[in-house]
Amino acid sequence: MKIAILGSGSWGSALSVHFGNKGFEVVQWCREKEVVDSISKNRENRLFLRGIGYPESVKATTSVEEAVSEAEVVFSVIPVQFTPAFWNKYRGVLYSKLVVCASKGIDVEALKTLSQRYEEIFGSLDNYYVLSGPTFAREIAAGLPAAAVVANVDSERAINTIRELNTSTFRLYASSDVLGVELGGALKNVVAIATGISDGMGLGNNARAALITRGLNEIKRLGKALGAREETFYGLSGVGDLVLTCTGDLSRNRQFGLAVAEGREFTGKQVVEGVYTVKAVVELARKLSLEMPISEAVYKIIYERKNPKEIMEELLSRPVKEEKG
């Protein structure tokens, strides 16, 4: 099978390495010529995935048309806030392709998920799939075992796609809840920032566990209000991804939260999607009159420049109420 990977960040690079190592023919589109040169000459993406070797079966290019032309499956791994414009620009070459979106977040301008933006641009979700789950790029590239979900509006189509893409170290499961899988992958980043802040302040494991648990409740609340299925959030793209991102030190969102709590500049090279997602989440919650205290707390710290210590104390001292899931 021939695969195109659109994106040169750590996740796009990890997928390129993984599928290349598993015998697929892969062409990776990279925006930066320096990344193409690094992959072509050094067999390594030294800018975003240093230390991981590329197999010879992966070719890098700066031409989208070259990457996509012969591909049977196209993975779209572009930062969410730039994805709709990219899809619009290359609509002609992407229109008939099977597109697997592996980006996680919500379009802040439109307050919509990428499946909703894809349907606006291409007119149908038949060829749209979303990949999400508890996956750190570096571990996937290193060949360590992992599992994730691939969703399409037609579960049979999702299963057929999984048969083609499933490998011995990357087990894929099917879902027809495209919206739920997307929202789980997007909203967990907000909770990961909150747990990073909590850990950075030294609030302990109990506080972290509480934030993860109540964070899942917030994800379910917004997801159900937007039309997703509740059971999706108990799966790999929900609680699985949430736990990994909130506790694993390879998480950019968690590392961002740690930096905020410690009063230092975050120096990561790649986009921290939770910073954008929290803005969309709070706007949606307010429109829908939903209570989202953890998301509100993260929003106040990032966008209103409120003191993290005061905001976390305020969050933990909210009025007593009955727990209802």
- 263, exposed or middle or buried, with CB in 10 Å at 0-12, 13-18, 19+? exposed
Give the integer Cα–Cα distance in Å for 13 and 28: 8
Q: Determine how many CB atoms are found less than 10 A away from the CB of residue 102.
A: 23
Strand, helix or coil at 133?
coil
| Alpha-carbon span 76 to 124, nearest angstrom | 17
Find out whether 246 and 192 touch, Cβ atoms under 8 Å. Answer: yes
Q: Is 188 a catalytic residue?
A: yes
Kindly name the residue from 97, 104, 112, 188 that is annotated as catalytic.
188
Sheet of 128-132, strands arranged across: 58-61, 25-29, 2-6, 73-76, 98-101, 128-132, 146-151, 170-175
Cβ-contact 268, 255 below 8 angstroms: yes
In the block, tokens 């360590």 appear at 144
Q: Is residue 311 within 8 Å of 300, Cβ to Cβ? A: yes
Residue 287's alpha-carbon distances to 36, 81, 227, 282, in angstroms, are 43, 21, 15, 9
3-state secondary structure of 100: strand
Closest C-alpha among 241, 179, 234, 210 to residue 316: 210
**CA–CA distance from 309 to each of 36, 246, 316 (Å)?**
44, 19, 11
Tokens matching residue 260: 């905020």
Catalytic residue numbers read 188
